Amino acid sequence: MGRSAIILFVALSTISFAQNTRPAAASHDMPPLQHFSPDRIDKSLDPCTDFFEYACAKWIKANPIPPDQAGWGTFSELAIWNIAAIHHTLEEAAAASNRTPAEQKAGDYYAACMDESKIDRLGMAPVQPLLDRISALTEKSQLPELVALLHQNIRPANLVFTDVQYQGILFGVYAQPGFDNAAVMMPTLDQSGMGLPGREFYSNQDERSKQIREKYVSHVAKMLKLTGETEAQATADSQAVLAFETELAKAAMEIVARRDPKNQNNKMTLAQVQAMTPSFNWNRYFAAVHAPSSQEYLVLAPTFFQGVEKLVASEPLEHWRAYLLFETIHLLAPFLSQPFVEENFSFYGRVLAGSQKIQPRWRRCSAGADIDLGDALGQAYVAKYFPPESKERMLRMVKNIEATLNGEFDSATWMSASTKQAAHAKLAAQIDKIGYPDHWRDYSGLEITREDYLGNVERASLFEFNRRIAEFNKPTDRYDWNMTPPTVNAYEDPQSNTINFPAGILQPPFFDPSQIDAVNYGAIGAVIGHEITHGYDDQGRKFDAQGDLHDWWTAQDAASYDERDQCIQDEYTQEVPEAGVKQNGKLSAGEDTADNGGIHLALGALQKDLKDEGKDLDSATDDGMTELQNFFLSYANVWCGELRPELAHTAVMTQGHSLNRYRVDNVVANMPEFAHAFSCHAGQPMVHAKQCRVW
Ligand SMILES: [Zn+2]
């Protein structure tokens, strides 16, 4: 967990919310991998007017968003390819005899998930024991044990950390490195429990927000009716759920405040936590989840827990039952019978993301197996698709880009010698993780059967929950991963001081052994640079070489940093017409800084490699363009694609990444090298009058 900064937010593993894979024939034919090609360019357009259009418009027109997708782009094409690879492995494992334990688990998990007729026949039965426990809530003193039971059996909607909230019931509990001492994992309490994507969704008064709330209440009522409630009861309960969650939202920390780690660094003893929430017995909660006792707890959002206290003290029992019942059904809906799956998709897929139809079941089951048994599947994926040569070449690129950043530190006129020294030390201490973990997770304690799909999911949730609880007060494992190997994504984690590139993104068109260096540096090179830069963005720069929240900047250098950062924030505080909302440059500052720094560093590394080969950025390549033109076109190519307006709206409001168009246009317009590559001149849209640069 922690403040992992990721390259894009639409994760492959996000089943219930946004998917980025598209229909394919239900055969084992792998879709073709996409390679960079200058043929994608629309030469009738002017690169200096809108580079994203120049590089991507032709492709976007030829590749409309498939009906079962909320967005479509280069990332999605590779994600499809990866999931087809996982699917292949799962089908083999489901059918094989003499299976290894890993094959048994993966194969039976998949087979149980694919047995839709059985799942439909069983209906509510598999989830009934949990619902009965909720119905049996007769006094609030029973809440700690009940919430503990639900936390153990129901995994959050997304295992990848988001800036907004932990996506589980009521509050989140997990371990993360301490802010003051990252070497030790601290028990952490986080805000959670809101069914809408963020606190603003409960309070904004614009028409669209009001409409979303109306549709949400109607969705909650439909889900409750599916559990057997009468129309009248479900209607009343749905209003109660909205009111309940609105209280959580009011108490929750605002998303921009949450980006500042010092706001989250609230260490408390159990007595202090207890004093904050006198109506909720933490001793009993922690006893119920078998957590080791701790001297201190990290409470990321104290006001949120004051809100929880208010709800425990004042909300009637029937509202608590309604809230817990809905949240349980909401989070387990993807694993239940057709009516639950459909209604869940109807709100989270259609209303919030704009998808028109749900993805085929085999793909949902493959993605689910990746979440619950990621390392078991990852081993097979890596063995087939990630040769050691790829890892070696990738490491060489990473080292070259790190060398470029060291050079940036040295030549920075705005940094003092002592800050430069600390920056060098931090970069030297960073661990570069490429492809897959050194030690695979052992699932031997997890029982998976062919007969019991929901049971598999619940046991996998318990397995993961217990793994996190067991980390309380233990040394931090800097070699642990937060993403599975087939994931098309990457992240930097300032608390472990690591950059992490799953094998899933180390495929064409990101990483392509068949292409020249300029193309690879423009694509995966810019991603590498992006992740490294996160260690020195407005969040990352607050952590030192050990991952501790410790200020290593002189006051003067920090002020110079802030000034440069402000330029980026102002530039990205812009209307986003396709999302129908204004972007907050304070929210996206870290990602925008990483985008701008990432491509700059990758370009520096390319320049050095070319020099070693006796070439330069203006040298001609086989495709008739210069090295530099190839570099920028390859950069834009990985961002070709777009989101449906519904998802674009949700995305701009809830997470820090700018939409693809701006990840290309704002970035290149800050670069004199881009103007040089395409002979753009001052006054044209792709040459900003004030060119921002942090790194
Ligand atoms: Zn990022």
- For residue 332, the CA-to-ligand 1 centroid distance in Å is 30
- For residue 464, the CA-to-ligand 1 centroid distance in Å is 25
- For residue 591, the CA-to-ligand 1 centroid distance in Å is 5
Tell me which residues of the chain have a pLDDT lower than 50. Answer: 1-2, 9-27
- For residue 231, the CA-to-ligand 1 centroid distance in Å is 45
User: What is the pLDDT at residue 678?
Assistant: 98
- For residue 589, the CA-to-ligand 1 centroid distance in Å is 10
Closest CA to 347 of 177, 213, 524: 213
Is the pTM higher than 0.85? The answer reads: yes
| CA pair distance 115, 124, nearest whole angstrom | 16
| Structure tokens given for 498 | 């690591």
| CA pair distance 365, 456, nearest whole angstrom | 12
- For residue 95, the CA-to-ligand 1 centroid distance in Å is 39
**What counts of helices (H) and strands (E) characterise the chain?**
29, 12
User: What is the pLDDT at residue 162?
Assistant: 59
Q: To the nearest 5 percent, what fractions of the chain are helix, strand and coil?
A: 55, 5, 35
* Interval 282-297: pLDDT, tens: 999 999 999 999 999 9
User: What is the pLDDT at residue 315?
Assistant: 97
Q: Strand pairing of 575-576 and 498-502?
A: unpaired
- For residue 529, the CA-to-ligand 1 centroid distance in Å is 10
- For residue 594, the CA-to-ligand 1 centroid distance in Å is 6
- For residue 593, the CA-to-ligand 1 centroid distance in Å is 9
User: What is the pLDDT at residue 655?
Assistant: 84
| Burial (CB count within 10 angstroms: exposed 0-12, middle 13-18, buried 19+), residue 25 | exposed
User: What is the pLDDT at residue 367?
Assistant: 95
User: What is the pLDDT at residue 157?
Assistant: 77
| CA pair distance 540, 498, nearest whole angstrom | 11
- For residue 459, the CA-to-ligand 1 centroid distance in Å is 32
| Burial (CB count within 10 angstroms: exposed 0-12, middle 13-18, buried 19+), residue 575 | exposed
- For residue 126, the CA-to-ligand 1 centroid distance in Å is 39
SS3 127: helix
Residue whose token pair is 């959580």:
248
Alpha helices in 412-544 (DSSP H): 417-429, 453-470, 517-520, 526-534
Closest CA to 234 of 301, 115, 322: 322
- For residue 535, the CA-to-ligand 1 centroid distance in Å is 10
- For residue 333, the CA-to-ligand 1 centroid distance in Å is 30
Q: Are 661 and 595 in contact (CB under 8 A)?
A: no
Neighbours of ion ligand 1 (CB under 5 A): 5, 591, 594
User: What is the pLDDT at residue 14?
Assistant: 32
Amino acid at 92: E
User: What is the pLDDT at residue 164?
Assistant: 82
Phi/psi at 385 (nearest 5 deg)? -120, 0
